[in-house]
Amino acid sequence: MKKKLVALFLTAILLFALLAGCGNNSGSSSGDSSYTGKDNDTIKLYDGTYSELYIRHHIMKLLIEEYTDLKVEIMDEMNSGLRFDELVKGDIDMSASYDGSLLTTHMKLTPEDTPEGMTLYEFVNEKALADHGVYLLGKQGLSNTYCIGVPEAIAEEYNLKTISDLIPVAGELRFGAEHDFFTELGPAKFAPFTKAYGLDFKTVSQLDINLKYAAMEAGELDVMIVYTTDGLNRKAGLKVLEDDLGYFPEYNAAIMVRKDFFEKYKETAPNLEEVMAMTDNLFTDEIMTDMTYLVDVEQKDFKDVARNFLVEKGLLK
């Protein structure tokens, strides 16, 4: 009887040890956004949902892995609101962003809220750091703001040069934009935008961001929300209307990080801040438009586009 009890006791100990070993396993799946391991040698981030963000994220990955001992893991796509939440929570440490996104989408403010004597970039950086513990690094040189695009034929037919020119004819025109433009995340969205300009379109369509240009080229839309650096504007032959009320804010591109980002990785990459500053003023609107055109129109791999750009700039061999 005693032998059986000892055997059962030893079996229980062995089983407990095995379970404990499984529970302490530091390996994680590609979808796990938590950092594991004591060395903090891998930066994790979620990708964006369109070509410009793919390119900007991959450029940072290439530079960081070339000039430091860190690795960068780019995980699944996620919209800007969720990426911001993950950054604030500390589940990721960095994300490509824009000062205009911080202002309107994440802080629910408008350009008029910027204090006199401060730029929008300075204001949102100060407030984001104080309220959320995150901030933007140096501006990367491009401003990918919202704009309104119409086919050249529509622009000529209705003599459209500014967004205000749409007011008397909006009832004859069909408007479309991606789903994200119809959310309630801040003033730079459909409802407050159309209210500010007094626009009442004939029809309004919510489309997948990858399908809206196809709908425009098929003649199913007359007016569409677009972005300054989108190469598909060029392919679709769109005329971008002037935002004559200055409704949409600047969207200066920059990498957003947590306040403890450089401290966290200083042992593995003491030069990380200098490496990431390599992208300060690296782009222009025209440069980014050319790159997104290569990806979205010519179907080039965004990883190749990013690497070739850095090689041309002399930042990679």
Question: Closest by alpha carbon to 199, among 150, 237, 157, 233?
Answer: 150
* pTM for the full predicted model: 0.78
* Higher local confidence (pLDDT), 35 or 278: 278
Residue 269 has pLDDT above 90, yes or no: yes
Query: Could you state, in order of their start, the residue ranges of all structural domains in the chain?
Result: 43-143+251-312, 146-241
- Residue 186: pLDDT band (50, 70, 90) is confident
Q: Is the pLDDT of residue 5 over 70?
A: no
Q: What is the mean pLDDT of residues 58-69?
A: 98
* pLDDT greater than 60 at residue 15: no
pLDDT given for residue 36 in this prediction: 40
Confidence label for 210 from pLDDT (cuts 50, 70 and 90): confident
- Give residue 180's pLDDT: 84
187 falls in which pLDDT band (50, 70, 90)? confident
Phi, psi of 43 (to 5 degrees): -90, 130
Give 112's pLDDT tier (boundaries 50, 70, 90).
Answer: confident
Cα-based angle 238, 241, 244 (whole degrees, multiple of 5) = 170
pLDDT reported for residue 249? 87
Sign of CA dihedral 63, 68, 69, 72: negative
Looking at per-residue confidence, does 280 or 8 come out higher? 280
Specify which residues 21 forms β-bridges with: none
- The mean per-residue pLDDT over the stretch 266-281 comes to 97
User: What is the spatial order of strands in the sheet that 238-241 belongs to?
Assistant: 203-207, 174-178, 223-227, 146-151, 238-241
Whether the per-residue pLDDT at 23 is higher than 80: the answer is: no
Mean pLDDT (whole number) for 184-202: 90
CATH fold of 146-241, please? Answer: D-Maltodextrin-Binding Protein; domain 2 (3.40.190)
| Most confident among 18-27, 98-107, 205-214 (mean pLDDT) | 98-107
Average pLDDT, the chain: 88
CATH, domain range 43-143+251-312: 3.40.190.10
* CA atoms of 200 and 196, how far apart (whole Å): 11
